[in-house]
Each structure stands twice: as structure tokens, then as C-alpha cells.
Amino acid sequence: MSDGKDTQWQIRAATGADIGTLALVGAATFLETFADILNGDAIVKHCETQHSKSAYDAYLRDGATAWLGELTDGQAPVSYALLCKPDLAAAADDGSDIELKRIYSLSRFHGSGMGPALLDKAVNAASKTARRLLLGVYNGNERAIAFYEKQGFEQVATRQFQVGDNLYDDIVFAKTL
């Protein structure tokens, strides 16, 4: 696929062999997205723990599904998505929900079509086993909120997300599958 600027990319399913790549892209995109919002020490510590190889290994061993967006010229990873068991209070008690835990692209690839392509992969996979797809998004991330609303997600709750000593407000979205 192309972003209209002659940048060719592809989305592929990640495997256990991609744990290091998921950790790298996860930490890089989280840092890039929140560097001007979060405390420096807190964001580094968060990336070291929540975007470590062991964290992604644990997700995949627990049944999570992940995808990588890569440039086809050299296959550099620039985006990813992670679908897993829900860790949100808004999740149905009967186990019929699934969570899009993470979906990020490096900012220079926003608008390239990778975000919708990753989301399509997640929605298609989720629809095979779940009734709803849930996700949490920082309430100050207007671009992401607009994207999810455009894709048919509706706000169902709020939560607080802790990074370091600070709590941040998130919106919890759901999409019926």
C-alpha cells in the first residue's frame, strides 16, 4: 500500500519472533506521542516496564494478537496494534469484550492509511470472538479521539491512567462488532 507520497508499506501479523520489534516500536511511539505531556523520568520508566520485551512476550503468551506496519523498502517497523483480553472496568463480565490495548504509528506516518489498516485488522480479528471492541485513549489526544469516532466508536466510560506519580484522564470507547 502507499500513503500517496510514494512511501510503500504493509501490515503483517506479528509473531513471537517480533517481541523485540514490538517493544521498540511500542516505546518509540509512546515516547513520541506523550513526550510533551508526561514527566521525562516517568515516561522513560513507563517505557522500560510497559514496553519491554517481557511485557510483549507476556501479552502474546496470554493469547494477544499483534500486527506490525512496516515500510516495504527495508521493512522498517513504524506502527503496530495489540489486541488482548480487556483490562478495563467497562468490560462486560461475561467475557464478550476484547480490548485494542495499543495502536500507534510514528507521527510522520499519520495520514498514510496505516492507522485504518491496523484498525481493520483488529476489528476483523475481534469480530471472530467478541461482541464489542474496547479501547482507552488519553482525553487530550484530539486526533485519536476524532479517528475513533469516525470509525464508529462511542464513549462508554472514563478511567484514570497512571504514569509515574501522575494520573491522566482517559476516555473508554467501544464499538459493537
> So where are the chain's domains?
9-176
Contact predicate 85/101, CB 8 Å = no
Is the per-residue pLDDT at 2 higher than 70?
no
Mean pLDDT, range 126-136, rounded to an integer: 97
**pLDDT exceeds 90 at position 12:** yes
| CATH number of this structure's domain 9-176 | 3.40.630.30
Classify the phi-psi angles of 108: left when phi > 0, otherwise alpha if psi is within -120 to 50, otherwise beta.
alpha
Question: Mean pLDDT over residues 99-114, rounded?
Answer: 96
Q: What is the pLDDT of residue 74?
A: 77
Grade residue 6 by pLDDT with cuts at 50, 70 and 90. Answer: low
Please provide the DSSP assignment of 60-99 as one string: HHTT-EEEEEEETTT--EEEEEEEES--STTS-TTS-EEE
Report the pLDDT averaged over residues 39-54: 95
The residues with which 158 forms a beta bridge, in sequence order, are 171
Quickly tell me which residue has 466508536 as its cell: 153
Sign of the dihedral defined by the CA atoms of residues 15, 16, 17, 22, in that order: positive
CA-wise closest residue to 122 among 113, 133, 114: 133
What number is the average pLDDT over the span 28-48? 93
How confident is the model over 74-87, as pLDDT tens digits? 789 999 999 999 99
Torsion angle of the four alpha carbons 14, 18, 24, 25, in this order, in degrees rounded to the nearest 10:
-20
- The residue ranking higher by pLDDT, 5 or 148, is 148
Q: What is the pLDDT of residue 5?
A: 56
Assess whether pLDDT exceeds 70 at residue 64: yes
